[in-house]
Amino acid sequence: MLSHSSECGVRMGDNAKVVNSRRGRPPGRSDARERVIEAATTVFMEVGYARASLRMIAQLAGVSHSLVNYHFGSKQGLFGEVMSLTLMPSQVLGEALRQRPGETPAMLARRFVGTVVTAWDDAHLSDPFVAMLREAMAEESMRSNVAEFMEREVLAVVATRIGGPDATVRAAGVGMCIAGLVMGRYLLRVGPLVALSKEEIVRVLAPMVAVHLC
């Protein structure tokens, strides 16, 4: 998990190393991966998820930009590693919201809610996320990082899938539906919500989500 660092030491200049064009693992010390994670923890805490860049993190870690890409693929992937997440939200949402031929908004909503419940009911996948959210609720600097992450890597993915001029508003509607489920069933562990089966959750929640997909 993220921890405070007293000094970021990140230079905002343009002198960071550029992507290495050679194939395979870019050159670097064997502890490079650990140094990148340590640097990313510092940068995320100091400047926030939105302002952080892989180039800034690479510069602080003393490695090339290409080495960061090699190990983590993206800023989202690196944040997930720092937070010990086993599954990125965009992986679930991207597939769950991909409308299939002949699929109505109601059918899409049922499949989407079902996919979300399946993922969150798997403790191996959801426990790191639950821990991250609980820590975010207790610490302001952590809260802002998680909020930025959720906005850019969750709501933005939903909005892109929905499309249209009001996609952001409709994505926020979907987000509110799922946020209520996550808070009640997985964080607070409210008895009646925990007791619901996946099928019952889909039956109750999918019509609310479908409204925002129409």
What does the alpha-carbon distance between residue 144 and residue 50 come to, in Å, rounded to a whole number?
10
What does the alpha-carbon distance between residue 31 and residue 8 come to, in Å, rounded to a whole number?
20
120 neighbors 201 (Cβ within 8 angstroms): no
pLDDT at 178 over 50: yes
pLDDT computed for residue 27 by the predictor = 52
Residue range 14-48, pLDDT digits in tens? 333 333 344 445 554 568 899 999 999 899 888 88
User: Where is pLDDT greater, at 125 or 54?
Assistant: 54
Q: Please enumerate in sequence order all residues whose Cβ is within 8 A of that of 154, keeping only pairs 6 or more positions apart, or say none.
A: 89, 90, 93, 175
pLDDT computed for residue 1 by the predictor = 56
Mean pLDDT of 183-191: 96
Residue 76 is classified by DSSP as H
Residue range 89-124, pLDDT digits in tens? 877 787 788 888 999 999 999 999 999 999 999 988
Q: Quickly tell me which residue has 């343009």 as its tokens.
A: 14
What does the alpha-carbon distance between residue 153 and residue 135 come to, in Å, rounded to a whole number?
19
pLDDT at 206 over 70: yes
